[in-house]
Chains A and B, each alone.
Chain A
Amino acid sequence: MLDFLFGQLVATHATFDVVTLSDRTTQALAEDPWLAAGYALLGLAGVGGFLSLLGMALIYVERKVAAHFQCRLGPMRVGWHGMLQSVADAIKLLLKEDIIPDRADRVLFLIAPVFSIIATTLGLILIPMSPSLQVVDLNIGVIFISAVSSFGVLGILLAGWSSNNKWSLLGAMRAGAQFISYEISVTLSLLVVTLFAGSLQLSEIVQSQQDGWWIWRGHIVGLVAFFVFLIASTAELNRPPFDLPEAESELTGGFHTEYSGLRFSFFFLAEFINMFIASALAATLFLGGWMPFHIGGLHTFNGLMDLIPPGLWFAGKTTFIIFLIMWVRWTFPRLRVDQLMRLEWKFLLPVGFINLFAAATLVITKLYFFPW
């Protein structure tokens, strides 16, 4: 119908060829080893640089968003509108004394933050930011990410245990219970999309949304899965209203009470990058990732949408979800431990299971939109 109205501007929308950095490396390896090495180095440096820059940027954004929710300006002094505040903070954290409590388990205490940051980095390399901007594209991408993200809880548990502080231990125990519980809901909602897309590979999941994003193509099921994912991953990120492992007003600092300086900043950074990963994952799975907004069959409309580069689509969607998570943080109070568990086991988990069955039924009966 729209085609008729607008005329046949673009016959079919462009198809996207996914070329990841690891693909480039393997291709180049046969012809030019130096180029391959260059690609590999680019990948490493890219991820490292992206990790720290993104962390700083997110912290800045968080502070600004929080400030404007609270009728104040936030950082304004360092650089234009406080742009360099994060840099100043990073320098401060680097220069701070690294205190290790006397009776702490030294080895575990030192390792714990590294666990957190490694888990985060591993998750980051899988995110498809645009057809040509993805480091690795594993064929088990979804499972890999959920496996790696549960690896991060190990760092928190170790931190709480090794600090030899009762508050830290309480925080760590809370974290353990919380992460294990909410992991299930996250996985259940990931499975919904996997069922729809018929693949675990992130790039293929994105490609499968060529006729529309799963959040609306899977109508109610997609929407429910999206919200379950958003709630459960907020809990996994340990951000308010689920920030019980930290719970400043209850446990002083929770698992990182005893940490200072660089090691504290590792936890801090990991938390913010995890927020990015969760948002990027939500965007990729439910909002099409870098896939522009398409409606199956409307070629003209889809062609117009293709004019906006995929990278921008990805950035926009991810930013939107990050903003949602921040919005929730600065509005809601914190749940209590038993309420948190009740929410997962008595509400989200049954909803997730029912939703998964509904999704399976939809896939079999092809009742979702554009099932060709």
Chain B
Amino acid sequence: MAVKVSTLDERIKLTDSADSPLDTQEYFINMGPQHPATHGVLRLMLKLDGETVREVIPVLGYIHRGIEKIGEHSTYRQFVHLTDRCDYLSAMMNNWAVSLMVEKALKVELNDRIEYIRTIMAELERIQSHMLWWGVLGMDLGAFTPFLYGFRDRELITDIFEETIGCRLTMNYIQPGGVMDDIHPNFVDRVKKVIEYAKPKIDEYEELLSGNVIIQERLRNVGVLSADKATSLGVTGPVLRASGVPLDLRRVAPYGVYDKVNFEVAVGSVGDCWDRYWVRIEEIRQSMSMIEQLIDNIPAGKTMLMKPAKKTVLPEGSHYAQLETARGILGIYAVSDGVSDKPVRIHMRSPNYNNVWSADEMTRDSRIGDLVANVSSIDIVVPDIDR
């Protein structure tokens, strides 16, 4: 099913519904770039008819830093730490995507230790990302308490990162050829403890929000995105899975050690906000079980197989690798001339960029309150949209 393509001029045209008994006129209102519910500097142009949203037009570019352009002037290893600054809640996965691309191009075989560490780290990152999302969703719907609950538990995971890596948010840990440094001696114990602690916390989350009548009212059958629409918009990640499409690269095209762990891909059926909520809560549980399966079995081995000082030149041609971040499929595309250690062109197919456009589809002809719920349930990280 094709999406109707309309130009911006067409979209910003206001209609005067003079034939209606109440002579109303549509109007525009800017939601953002400074607005509490747009998670940073996203600007949404809303065409409103009273409280009813007729059209949502995302206007991007308020935090554009030219990361892809800078990427053309930096080596692959340097580019890795720029990716931290895109989707900062999936920093680990972003790093991994670049590393995966480089390793695929150079056909580097990694040992199991590296793959295990990467997978565990990525799943920890996914858990903390979803925890934060859960808190922010609560806040967007007007409940402030979940926000602090989410942050409280997320802190413990960032503490783990800090111990091993020295950073809490922009980690630059996974690098082409391995990981930056070996895990901290405490790592295994600490991860186990945190998982032990966080498991009942997820039930607490459910008690606080999931069963609440108001939450059910606000999320169920709100912002329905059909599987057809979702696929034609290029939406990925939990948003797509909530619409009933079981596309999870961890299952479909396994990387790391995802082929060695048991996990279920959480798939929704209706594609409303509630499904997106449920899919993410379920993903936290699945990630925890994955970590539990892996954490005791980290094999011995080296953690860096490519010498950091060595000049990394990719073979001539284009290279692509993709993986599943907390928000969807992140693809890294690079073109190399085969001489320079810097790419001629590097591009990120970021999940947030595609996901943000589904806000219009979800919100059309519903209320402003629904728009906030929808944007929140898409889970947008704006720096990743603009890059």
What residues make up the interface of A, taking CB atoms closer than 8 Å to B?
66, 69-72, 166-167, 170, 174, 240-241, 243-244, 247-252, 330-339
Contact = CB atoms under 8 A, between A and B. Distances in A.
Task: Say whether chain A's binding surface is mostly helix, strand, loop, or mixed.
Answer: loop
8 contacts: A66-B145, A70-B144, A71-B152, A247-B142, A249-B139, A251-B368, A252-B36, A330-B144
The list of the 9 closest CB pairs from A to B, nearest first, reads A334-B142, A333-B141, A333-B143, A336-B369, A70-B148, A249-B37, A333-B142, A249-B140, A166-B29
B319 interface: no
Contacts of A334: 141-143, 214, 218, 369
B193 interface: no
A243 B148 contact: no
Given A174-B51, A248-B36, A337-B368, 8 more contacts: A71-B149, A170-B51, A241-B142, A249-B140, A249-B142, A251-B368, A332-B212, A335-B217
B72 interface: no
Contacts of A174: 51
A66 B217 CA distance: 24
A250 B369 contact: yes
A37 to B, nearest CB: 48
A338 to B, nearest CB: 7
Contacts of B36: 248-249, 252
Contacts of B29: 166-167
Contacts of B142: 240-241, 243, 247-249, 332-334
A336 B37 CA distance: 15
B31 to A, nearest CB: 9
Interface in B52-80: none
A333 B212 contact: yes
Interface residues of B, number: 30
B215 interface: yes
Contacts of B214: 241, 332-335, 339
A240 B152 CA distance: 23
A333 B209 contact: yes
Interface string B144-178: 11001100100000000000000000000000000
Interface of B: 27, 29, 35-37, 51, 138-145, 148-149, 152, 208-209, 212, 214-215, 217-218, 367-372
Nearest to B46: A166
Contacts of B51: 170, 174, 337
Chain B CB within 10 Å, residue with most, of A244, A249, A330, A338: A249
Nearest to B143: A333
Contact of B368 (A170, A240, A241): A170
A251 B372 CA distance: 10
Contacts of A240: 142-143
A336 B367 contact: yes
Contacts of B139: 249
A345 to B, nearest CB: 16
Nearest to A247: B142
Chain B CB within 10 Å, residue with most, of A248, A334, A336: A336
A334 B372 CA distance: 11
A69 B370 contact: no
Nearest to A69: B145
A337 B371 CA distance: 12
A370 to B, nearest CB: 36
A335 B140 CA distance: 11
B144 A66 contact: yes
A252 B36 CA distance: 6
B145 A70 contact: yes
Contacts of B369: 244, 247, 250, 334, 336-337
A332 B148 contact: no
A73 to B, nearest CB: 12
A207 B54 CA distance: 56
A71 B148 contact: yes
B130 to A, nearest CB: 18
B32 to A, nearest CB: 10
Contacts of A241: 142, 214
Given A70-B144, A240-B143, A339-B217, A333 B138 contact: yes
B366 to A, nearest CB: 9
Contact of B37 (A71, A72, A250, A330): A250
A249 B51 CA distance: 15
Nearest to B152: A71
Nearest to B136: A249
A322 B19 CA distance: 49
A336 B218 CA distance: 7
A71 B370 CA distance: 29
Contacts of B209: 333
Contacts of A252: 35-36
Nearest to B368: A250
Contacts of B37: 249-250
Contacts of A336: 217-218, 367, 369-370
A209 B127 CA distance: 56
Nearest to A165: B29
A311 B41 CA distance: 52
Contacts of A339: 214, 217-218
Nearest to A334: B142
Given A333-B138, A334-B141, A166 B217 contact: no
B375 to A, nearest CB: 10
B276 to A, nearest CB: 16
Contacts of A335: 214, 217-218
A330 B143 CA distance: 6
A281 to B, nearest CB: 25
A332 B143 contact: yes
Given A167-B29, A249-B142, A72 B218 contact: no
Contacts of B149: 70-71
A240 B35 CA distance: 19
Contacts of B148: 70-72
Nearest to B29: A166
Contacts of B138: 333
B97 to A, nearest CB: 31
